[in-house]
């Protein structure tokens, strides 16, 4: 599981790269499960990557963010990463 540090005033992008897992397949749908204290500002999906832009968060907290995809072959999987909120 990956971990990132984010300032509470920053709006940053986080990318899930599914290339190796896809093994030639492509992403057909992507959704993000975002905790209440974080705000999803935007999202984008490519053939092998999914990106989310997040803002907010409470100092000292850590959040699990989940990217759930479905592939063109009908496979579904999740990737979870941690966002730690710290003043930078």
> Tell me: the pLDDT tens digits for 10-51?
999 999 999 999 999 999 999 999 999 999 999 999 999 999
Can you give the pLDDT at residue 55? 98
Tens digit of pLDDT for each residue in 45-82? 999 999 999 999 999 999 999 999 999 999 999 999 99
Please state the pTM of the whole predicted model.
0.93
83 CB-side CA count, 13 A: 30
Catalogue all structural domains in the chain, each as residue range(s) with its CATH number.
Answer: 2-85 (2.60.40.2310)
Query: Higher confidence at residue 2 or residue 74?
Result: 74
In the sheet with 12-17, reading across from the earlier edge strand, the strands are 12-17, 49-56, 38-45
pLDDT exceeds cutoff 90 at 1: no
Asked if the model's pLDDT at residue 2 lies above 90, the reply is: no
């Amino acid at each position: 599981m990956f971990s990132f540090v984010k300032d509470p005033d920053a709006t940053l992008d986080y990318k899930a790269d599914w290339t190796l897992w896809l093994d030639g397949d492509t992403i057909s749908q992507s959704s993000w499960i975002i905790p209440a204290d974080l705000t999803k500002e935007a999202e984008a999906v490519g053939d092998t990557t999914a990106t989310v832009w997040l803002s907010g968060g409470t100092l000292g907290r850590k959040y699990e963010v989940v990217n759930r995809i479905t592939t063109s072959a009908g496979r579904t999987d999740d990737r979870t990463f941690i966002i730690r909120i710290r003043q930078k």
